[in-house]
Structure 1
Amino acid sequence: MTVMAILPRLCLAAGLSLCGTAASAATIEVTIERLEFKPAVVKARPGDTILWRNKDVMDHTATSKGSFDVVIPAGKSGSTVIKGDGVVDYSCRYHPNMKGRIEVSP
């Protein structure tokens, strides 16, 4: 038997956590309602998707200079995949008082 054939059996016998599993990317949902991003601050990891659901009757954007500019029509959703780490502040181009923050850590 080859090592590749034995490895799954060893993992099962030793416990899955010892064999390491790739971390899967998450989808983090932010609701837009009453001219607010809810929650206003989210925590994410590189590769995660931020999904904005617009429950307002007007269009919005999620815009971060140099990172992303997502147009989210009324009653629809839009998304972006997070790259890099650090703090990403964003706002709505149409309604600059709408602000959000993504705290990205590896």
Structure 2
Amino acid sequence: MSGMSVSAHAATIQITMENLVIAPADVSAKVGDTLELINKDVLAHTATAKNGDFDVMMPPKKTVTYVLKKAGMIDYFCRFHPNMKAVLNVAP
């Protein structure tokens, strides 16, 4: 065993998309944490990483979860509404 037990300390981080705004716009997390992406709008949104790490589709009025797999500072946005932008700081 190499002590890589991330599940014991994994957190769930809520990010809300409402009125074409991502909140909070700057989030710190760790590899293994779960993002709970809550779309409160009547429009579909995405959480699309500029570096290609993830591209999560969020239907209207739905919640989608995504487990963080890589460390780094990730800029992400909504492909349908590019003015919706946020940053995710993922620690190892």
- Which range, TM-score by smaller chain? 0.7 to 0.9
Match of 2:67 among 74, 78, 81: 81
Amino acid at match of 1:55: K
Q: Distance in 2 between matches of 1:96 and 1:66?
A: 15
Residues 1:26 and 2:25 aligned together:
no
Superposition CA RMSD, Å = 1.5
Q: Distance in 2 between matches of 1:29 and 1:102?
A: 12
Identity in percent: 50
Q: CA deviation at 1:67?
A: 0.7
- Structure with greater strand percent: 2
Residues 1:63 and 2:48 aligned together:
yes
Q: Which has the higher contact order (CA 8 A, sep 6+)?
A: 2
**1:59-99 deviation per Cα after TM superposition (whole angstroms, max 9, x unaligned):** 10000142111110110011211122110110000000000
Q: TM-score, normalised by structure 1?
A: 0.75
Q: Tell me, which stretches of 5 or more residues in structure 2 are unaligned?
A: none
- Structure with greater helix percent: 1
Residues 1:49 and 2:44 aligned together:
no
Please give the secondary structure, in 2, of the residue aligned with 1:61: strand
Q: Tell me, which stretches of 5 or more residues in structure 1 are unaligned?
A: 1-20
Q: Distance in 1 between matches of 2:18 and 2:87?
A: 16
Larger Rg over CA atoms? 1
Q: CA deviation at 1:24?
A: 1.7
Q: TM-score, normalised by structure 2?
A: 0.86
Match of 1:98 in 2: 84
Q: Which runs of structure 1 show a deviation greater than 2 angstroms over 4 or more consecutive aligned residues?
A: none
Q: Distance in 2 between matches of 1:73 and 1:35?
A: 14
